[in-house]
Amino acid sequence: MFRFFLGFIIGLAFAATAEAAAIKGVVEGGKRIKRSPVVVYLGDASGEFKKPVANPTLDQRYMTFIPHVLPIKTGTTVDFLNNDEVKHNVFSPDHEKYNLGTWPKGAIKQYTFDKKGVYTQLCNVHPEMESFIVALDTPYFALTDKDGNFELQDVPPGDYTIKVWHEKLRFKKQQIAVSEKGAENIVFRKQKRK
Ligand SMILES: [Cu+2]
């Protein structure tokens, strides 16, 4: 009886995971991807999606922004936290443009990204500081690891356009079919210069 019950539970678990699966692949970009990761994402998704439990943070630490690239779903509020002994400023020259001011260690400012797009983050005290917030109209996105590998999780089966964003490199979008088992070996190759 217990075995039967256990089998039933495992069966349920499988049924639950079969509804959404992972898309795995690699972006071939060499050293540039080691320096700055790629955002991999699916084309615009409609529907209601859960907001992250906690706001993602863009740290100002060691005289730099951490992380260098922060993908978010539109509607997300980002916390900008100064962790350095010096004051930092945060502004973006992109889209609606904003300047959050200049603040000391331990203080947080916030900004909510309602429009999709790439927002360059800069500090007017330290011109070498730069990072990117990528606001997307989809909850299906991931950053590549240092070797360019990515995994988009919990994607429902269907046909999608999969795209990538990198601060320097450009890649062609692809049409992919995602089954209940997901999709594997999606490869983005660097575009040859004409
Ligand atoms: Cu600064």
Secondary structure (DSSP) of 114-151: -S-EEEEEE-SS-TT-EEEEEEES-S-EEE--TTSEEE
Which segments of the chain are extended strands (E)? 21-27, 39-42, 57-61, 64-66, 69-73, 76-82, 88-92, 98-103, 108-113, 117-122, 130-136, 141-143, 149-155, 158-165, 174-178, 183-188
- CB-CB contact of 102 with 39 (8 Å): no
Determine if the peptide bond prior to 127 is cis (ω within 30°).
no
Output the average pLDDT for the chain: 90
Neighbours of ion ligand 1 (CB under 5 A): 88, 123, 125-126, 129
Rounded to the nearest whole angstrom, what is the distance from the C-alpha of residue 147 to the centroid of ligand 1?
A: 29
Rounded distance, CA 133 to CA 34, Å? 18
Q: What is the pTM of this model?
A: 0.87
Predicted confidence band of residue 49 (pLDDT cuts 50, 70, 90): confident
Predicted confidence band of residue 17 (pLDDT cuts 50, 70, 90): very low
Residue 152 pairs with which residues in a beta bridge?
23
Overall average pLDDT of the 74-100 stretch: 97
Overall average pLDDT of the 40-55 stretch: 83
Rounded to the nearest whole angstrom, what is the distance from the C-alpha of residue 41 to the centroid of ligand 1?
A: 30
Rounded to the nearest whole angstrom, what is the distance from the C-alpha of residue 125 to the centroid of ligand 1?
A: 5
pLDDT value of position 183: 95
Whether 2 shows a pLDDT value over 80: the answer reads no
Enter the DSSP assignment of 35.
Answer: H
Whether 133 shows a pLDDT value over 70: the answer reads yes
Overall average pLDDT of the 157-163 stretch: 94
Share of the chain above pLDDT 70, in %: 89
